[in-house]
């Protein structure tokens, strides 16, 4: 039996469209319940529960318990960095109609790529300036 390289294991977790939508929803740094993430991914709560268990097992998400509620969030800044890099790479690809440009199928308006580093970030990552959840660059800089 052959084992998958670590990158293949992570890529298979992130590559599922429903899981990608849930991970994208968590890019703003907030924790969310399974029900909220199910709605975000437009899947049933039962299906979301299965996907979330895989993401937790794959060390991409962690669960925080508050009373009887369970909240999911990205496991680390490294996970946020990896997702950010994938969003940037997937967004900048040639478009047959307009040449090179920002295209984000599946993420829609949730992606905003800026040319400046975010002044405030839940993960404090100084990278390409990705600001999740549809933030404008002005809002990200605090202007």
Asked, for residue 1, whether it belongs to a domain, the answer is no
114 and 69 in a common domain: no
Range of the domain at 101: 77-141
Q: Are residue 84 and residue 133 in the same domain, yes or no?
A: yes
Q: Check if the beta carbon of residue 128 is closer than 8 Å to that of residue 39.
A: no
Distance (Å, whole) CA 66 – CA 39: 21
Whether residues 10 and 70 fall in one domain? yes
pLDDT tens-digit profile of 18-76?
Answer: 999 999 999 999 999 999 999 999 999 999 999 999 999 999 999 999 999 999 999 99
Please indicate, yes or no, whether residues 44 and 98 belong to a single structural domain of this protein. Answer: no
Query: Is residue 82 domain-shared with residue 115, that is, in the same domain?
Result: yes
Confidence of residue 87 (pLDDT cuts 50, 70, 90): confident
Same domain for 84 and 41?
no
> How many domains in the chain?
2
- The pTM of this model reads 0.64
21: how many CB neighbours lie within 10 A of its CB? 20
Q: How far apart are the first and last CA of the chain?
A: 55
């Amino acid at each position: 039996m052959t084992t998958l390289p670590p990158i293949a294991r992570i890529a298979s977790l992130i590559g599922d469209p429903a899981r990608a939508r849930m991970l994208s929803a968590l890019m703003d740094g907030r924790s969310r319940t399974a029900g909220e993430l199910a709605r975000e991914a437009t899947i049933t709560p039962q299906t979301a529960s299965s996907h979330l268990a895989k993401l937790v097992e794959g060390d991409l998400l962690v669960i925080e318990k508050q009373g009887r509620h369970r909240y999911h969030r990205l496991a680390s800044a490294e996970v946020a960095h990896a997702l950010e890099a994938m969003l940037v790479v997937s967004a900048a690809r040639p478009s047959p109609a307009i040449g090179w440009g920002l295209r984000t199928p599946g993420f829609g308006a949730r992606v905003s790529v800026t040319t400046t580093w975010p002044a405030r970030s839940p993960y404090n990552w100084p990278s390409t300036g990705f600001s999740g959840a549809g933030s404008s660059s002005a809002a990200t800089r605090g202007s």
